[in-house]
Amino acid sequence: MRKMSPKILIPLAIIAVILLLVGNISLWFNRAIFNRQNFANLTTTAIQKPQTRDAIAAEIVDQVFKDVPLLKQVAGNSVESAISGLLNADFMKPVISNSAKVINVILTSNIPQQVAINISSVKDFVDPVIGVLNQKFNLDVKDIKLPSTLVLAEKGQIPSLYGPGRVLLFLGPFAWLLGIGLIVAMVWASDKDRRQSVLKTLGVTLSIGSAILIFLTWMLRLPFLSSITNENLLVIASNIYGVFTGVLVQQTFVLLIIGVLAILAGYYLDSVLRMPSTTKDYFSHRKAA
């Protein structure tokens, strides 16, 4: 067969890797974003992390006691700990999950809306606590009203995932098929002497591309969350972002490992394939001797 020139090999390897990475992102959208149950499970995991629970509790306490700083100094820490523990209770998981499904509908809709977490169950817990504190410290806090939702982003602050999600879900299967097909064709079309070079080139390109995607996933945290100025809400949104992008990073890490294995195959596959014949020749010589 005709030897594949590096001028052709490298661009084809880059195209194949880009197709695989597009398919990888599409798979992530399908698994983590557009699958409502998985979205709810990931959101519940993120919200029940200690840092997230503490940030939600701190934000609720800030809202409840914003007009009575003295009462916050006396009872704020105790109320925060109680709310944080409440959010970690098993009976809160369905509540958080249902709220997450509503958020999923909002994020995957083509109509921008406010993104908020339902804290009505926490409100039911806080209201009687306020009454007890009112009696104990003889402070008039009856006018304090805690909202039923904790707003993470106002309408338009977080872009809708509807458009890019639909495009990726459509292109994803084609990207996988074309990417894998191109790689198979490159390996098959190369002669025996060039096959190792093709594998090494594909492996290096896939490893570098996967590493770049993982790096970009981490770096996009800053611009994605830049519109959130509240410290507590930033912690909540950051942890939710981390849990969701963690799925993408895990998927991409698998591609990176495959790239490393392709590099190793390029270096050692020929030697491994020659081992049976080498071993056979060795025993043939021993037998003749």
Inform me whether the pLDDT recorded for 116 exceeds 90: no
Q: Would you state the pLDDT for residue 210?
A: 97
| Mean pLDDT taken over the chain | 82
pLDDT tens digits, residue range 31-77?
998 999 999 999 999 989 999 999 988 888 887 777 777 667 777 78
Least confident of 64-68, 98-102, 250-254, 285-289: 285-289
Q: Parse the chain into domains and list their residue ranges.
A: 6-26+161-275, 35-107+115-153
Model pLDDT, residue 147: 67
Q: Which two tokens stand for residue 153?
A: 């982003």
The predicted structure's pLDDT at residue 201:
93
- pLDDT(132) > 70: no
Q: Which class for 2: exposed (0-12), middle (13-18), buried (19 or more C-beta within 10 A)?
A: exposed
Identity of the amino acid at 79? V
Per residue in 187-208, pLDDT (tens digit) is 888 877 788 889 999 999 999 9
- With H, G, I as helix, E, B as strand and everything else as coil, classify residue 161: coil
Query: Exposed, middle or buried, 46 (CB in 10 Å: 0-12/13-18/19+)?
Result: buried
Cα 37 to its chain centre, rounded Å, is: 15
Q: Whole-prediction pTM value?
A: 0.79
Top mean-pLDDT range of 38-47, 79-88, 133-142, 148-157: 38-47
Tell me the Ramachandran region of residue 155: left when phi exceeds 0, alpha when psi lies from -120 to 50, beta otherwise: beta
Contact (Cβ atoms closer than 8 angstroms) between residue 154 and residue 114: yes
From the DSSP assignment, how many helices (H) and strands (E) are in the chain?
10, 2
Amino acid at 84: S
Kind and range of the H or E run holding 5? none
